[in-house]
Amino acid sequence: MHQYDFHTLSPIDFERLVRDLLQEELAVTLESFKAGKDSGIDFRYCPDRTHTLIVQCKHYVGSGYTQLYRDLSKNELPKVKLLRPDRYIVATSVGLNPPQKDKIKKLFSACVKSSCDVLGKDDINNLLRKYPHIERQTMKLWLFSLPILQEVLHSQIHNFSKFEIDRIHEHAKLYVQNGSLEEAIRILETHNFCIIAGMPGIGKTVLAEMLVLHYSRSGYELVKIIENISEAWAVSRSELKRVFYYDDFLGQTSFRDKLHKNEDQRLIDFIRYVRRSSGAKLILTTREYILKQARQQYERLDREGLDDQKYIIDLAKYTRLNRAWILYNHIYFSDLPKDYRLAMLADRNYLRIIDHGNYSPRIVQLMTEHARIRDVEPTEYVTFFLTSMRNPLAIWDHAFRNHLSQASRNLLVVLASMPSQVLLSDLEKAFYSYNLAYARQYHATIGPQDVRSALKELSGDFLVVDKEGQDFLVQYQNPSVADFLKEYLCTSAPEMVILARSVAYFEQFRRLWSWQGSDSGRHTFIQLFKTEPELSVLLMRNLLYSGTCRLMNVVGTRGDRRKDRWPIPIEERAADVAGLIADSFTIFLPLLIDVVQEVSHRLQKGMGDRNGVGQLIEQTRSIRESVPDTLVDFVKVGKQFLMTTPVWTDDLWPLCRIIEANPELFSAKDFETIQGFLKEVADKVAYGYHGLDSDALREEAEALEWFAVIAGVDLNEEINTIRCHADEDEDSRSEDSEPIEYTSSKFRDCDVASNDYIASLFSTLDVRPMNKLRE
């Protein structure tokens, strides 16, 4: 067990821990009292009128024995003389040596029977070793411990940056445990995957991170999915226990951000794999309205029946006391100066925050960061806090419009159109394109150092920049920045037009096209296509052959991991253009014909992306206008390419999807050939399964089962053999370790908290900032 110093626990957190440990050690139930002025009593055991045990907790941050002894002698000793308990226990987070314990015993000689009743930091750690279940159920204790987090997060992780690890540590410190954690764990234990959905800023990411830590401490390897579910497939076939974490899996602003062609099916396939797995967990987060939109748009997602696995965080789950605890923790551990804290305490202003209809943990987080409100006078702090709750994006709007240079604003606008994580070199290219277009439009002065000066200005408050090999990784400091920028752009038509005309990457077009509504990215492109067709075609031609800025995790030959660009195949880009033509933008038809001819030549040489070809065939078939012979010929060439000796089940997916959607494209002879391929692949998996583990084998069996139905071939023998191999592999594994269980402390966790009850909690709030307390 780790040695805790408890300096990161609030006074009430520390009291809870001492209460739980002493109840175990003494085998009694201690009376608990509301926070605040305690008359010398934190806990009491009084079985009858003649026997009384009193426990007093003293939690000091940065103060040592001298301050502790002064407080005990000046403030607590007079109270104890009045109370006259039979036994008095002092518990403190201060480390004590034997002479110091003896001196405290002497101070309370009438009721401290032994120096063993003076518990210092080391004694409390000893009790944690004696009662490890207290450590487990007191989740915040070990979540908040930096050594444990380093041990967990620096062991087996994929795609976690230093910034994200530091952020998880910060979130763990502020986390207020409630029923949502236990419920989410129950869902994961039952179904192996969980969708955490809710409004922006409600705490989805924090809950997901706590779940990640829960399973990592149970021996699971961590895998964070950044851009696409294909990243999970790339590392799924392993005997290791793994927890996959996909934040905003449907995009931050629209499901079209993430669910490109057939992505819904790949996601469903992975969910099915996880459901059957004995060693995988999948944690997904999304905004509730985006999940509803996606289920309405994508029949396959709706048909999957995700409601049973969906765990929605809504404000009803945050009781009044939960809200109070969240605000208390954020203020207690913040760097807010004394005057701001006093402003919150004055006239019980914290109650106005706690009871506000737009209460949100994210707003609380932002509004308790001194750097973000440094221009607000302490006398105006509460008013500004309440204004920000009425309009959350105003937090960013004020700084964006009043504090940033034009170069910084331009950089943020460009980043809004790019993936959530980009390399600085790619951001620079997109920035230069937009910055130059902006300067021409408004006759503004620009310079070669604009991007560097903008990054320097934005780092910390708006952006996070991490070293990534020979480059740098850039991402938003907070997801709400992206929300603000989308809203800003959709109400600033001139800048949206400049951005649409200057996009440098295909991913930028995709993201802006996914924004719907008046003055949105899609609306802007539609107007551009209608009013400037020649420019539109030239722009799209450049995008078809542009570089890529989306990233994936790459494992080197020595096991080292790094970020690298993840190209979008030309076939997949062409499929998007075909989709535009299907939406009546026929100006792109000549361009599509040119690209399709190039793709056809590549396919005849055996070069091409199978998934992209499948998407291009599907989109070409959806064009309602008279289809040129070039496109008709491509469908034949593409079909033949997909029928070229598939090696694995992954090779069969694009082909079988086309068969399902367009069976008329295939002759009886084609079906006979495809059935032969299926038999060969099934035999290869069943009788030479290449060391696949039980989860991967079951995944192969289910895929082959679906293929067999689509192609009309009997694969029952091979599928049964594969499943037998899966059972044998599973039986040979050692039993999993027992899962860690958590129980919420009932101490002061009533669902309804009175004003006085909450006031007693905030009365323990030290008005000195945390950085001053540590000095």
| CA-based torsion, 115, 119, 123, 127: positive or negative | positive
Report pLDDT digits (tens) over 667-723. Answer: 999 999 999 989 988 998 888 756 677 777 888 888 899 999 999 999 999 999 988
Q: Which of 392, 311, 380, 373 lies closest to 349 in space, CA to CA?
A: 380
Helices 589-604, 533-544: crossing angle, 10 deg rounding? 20
Q: Which of 348, 329, 351, 322 lies closest to 13 in space, CA to CA?
A: 329
Tokens of 427: 């951001």
Quick one: what percent of the chain has pLDDT higher than 70?
83
- How sure is the predictor about 345, in pLDDT bands with cuts at 50, 70 and 90? very high
Q: Is the model more confident about 414 or about 483?
A: 414
Burial 720-749 (b: 16+ CB within 10 A, else e): ebbbebbeebeeeeeeeeeebebeebebbb
Report pLDDT digits (tens) over 414-445. Answer: 999 999 899 999 999 999 999 999 999 999 99
Q: What gap in Å lies between CA 342 and CA 352, rounded to an integer?
A: 15
- How sure is the predictor about 557, in pLDDT bands with cuts at 50, 70 and 90? low
Tokens of 74: 């000046």
Residue 14 confidence (pLDDT) above 90? no
Give bridge partners of residue 310 from the DSSP assignment.
Answer: 195
Residue 114 confidence (pLDDT) above 50? yes
DSSP 744: -
CA 31 to chain centre: 39
DSSP 459: B
Q: Report the 10 Å Cβ neighbour count for 524.
A: 22
Tokens of 77: 């000793």
Q: Report the 10 Å Cβ neighbour count for 432.
A: 17
Q: Which of 211-215, 581-585, 619-623 has the lowest mean pLDDT?
A: 211-215
Q: Which of 442, 466, 439 lies closest to 455 in space, CA to CA?
A: 466
E strands within 107-225? 118-119, 157-158, 193-198, 221-225
Report pLDDT digits (tens) over 378-392. Answer: 999 999 999 888 887
Q: What gap in Å lies between CA 506 and CA 489, rounded to an integer?
A: 19
pLDDT score, position 149: 52
Tokens of 546: 């542009």
| Mean pLDDT for the stretch of residues 249-271 | 62
Which amino acid is it at 70?
R
Report pLDDT digits (tens) over 291-338. Answer: 666 555 555 555 555 555 555 555 456 788 888 989 998 998 888 999
For 437-452, give the secondary structure using H, E and C. Answer: HHHHHHCCCCCCCHHH
Residue 642 confidence (pLDDT) above 80? yes
pLDDT score, position 289: 59
| Mean pLDDT for the stretch of residues 399-410 | 89
Map tokens 């006093």 to a residue.
Answer: 342
Q: Is the model more confident about 3 or about 263?
A: 3
Contacts of 613 (CB under 8 A, 6+ apart): 571, 599, 603, 638, 641, 642, 654
Helices (H), ranges, 277-360: 288-297, 299-303, 320-332, 338-345, 350-354
Q: Which of 153, 238, 132, 150 lies closest to 738 in space, CA to CA?
A: 132
Distances (CA, A) of 173 to 66, 152, 181, 637: 27, 16, 16, 58
pLDDT score, position 22: 94
Q: Report the 10 Å Cβ neighbour count for 421.
A: 20
Report pLDDT digits (tens) over 131-162. Answer: 988 877 776 676 555 455 555 544 455 556 56
CA 272 to chain centre: 21
| CA-based torsion, 509, 511, 512, 517: positive or negative | positive
pLDDT score, position 302: 52
Tokens of 266: 């790949």
Burial category of 529 from C-beta neighbours within 10 Å (exposed 0-12, middle 13-18, buried 19 and up): buried
Burial category of 607 from C-beta neighbours within 10 Å (exposed 0-12, middle 13-18, buried 19 and up): exposed
Q: Report the 10 Å Cβ neighbour count for 592.
A: 26
- Biggest CA–CA distance in the chain, Å, is 102
Q: Which of 541, 621, 544, 608 lies closest to 581 in space, CA to CA?
A: 621
Helices 649-661, 694-711: crossing angle, 10 deg rounding? 30
pLDDT score, position 409: 95
Q: What is the CA radius of gyration of the chain?
A: 31
Q: Which of 323, 325, 336 lies closest to 173 in space, CA to CA?
A: 325
Which amino acid is it at 747?
F
Q: What gap in Å lies between CA 85 and CA 300, rounded to an integer?
A: 68
pLDDT score, position 708: 92
Under 8 Å between Cβ of 147 and 37: no
- How sure is the predictor about 746, in pLDDT bands with cuts at 50, 70 and 90? very low
DSSP 109: T
pLDDT score, position 251: 66
Burial category of 352 from C-beta neighbours within 10 Å (exposed 0-12, middle 13-18, buried 19 and up): middle
| CA-based torsion, 104, 107, 108, 110: positive or negative | positive
pLDDT score, position 238: 58
Residue 613 confidence (pLDDT) above 70? yes
Distances (CA, A) of 158 to 235, 243, 378, 555, 559: 10, 11, 43, 9, 11
Contacts of 184 (CB under 8 A, 6+ apart): 194, 196, 207, 211, 311
Q: Is the model more confident about 61 or about 204?
A: 204
Q: Which of 36-50, 251-265, 402-416 has the lowest mean pLDDT?
A: 251-265
Residue 278 confidence (pLDDT) above 60? yes
Average pLDDT, the chain: 82
Residue 744 confidence (pLDDT) above 50? no
Report pLDDT digits (tens) over 453-481. Answer: 999 889 877 888 888 888 999 998 877 88
Top-confidence range, 180-184, 223-227, 682-686, 742-746: 682-686
Give bridge partners of residue 91 from the DSSP assignment.
Answer: 57, 119
First CA to last CA across the chain, in angstroms? 28
Instruction: For strands 561-565 and 551-555, give the pairing.
Output: antiparallel
Stated length of the chain:
775
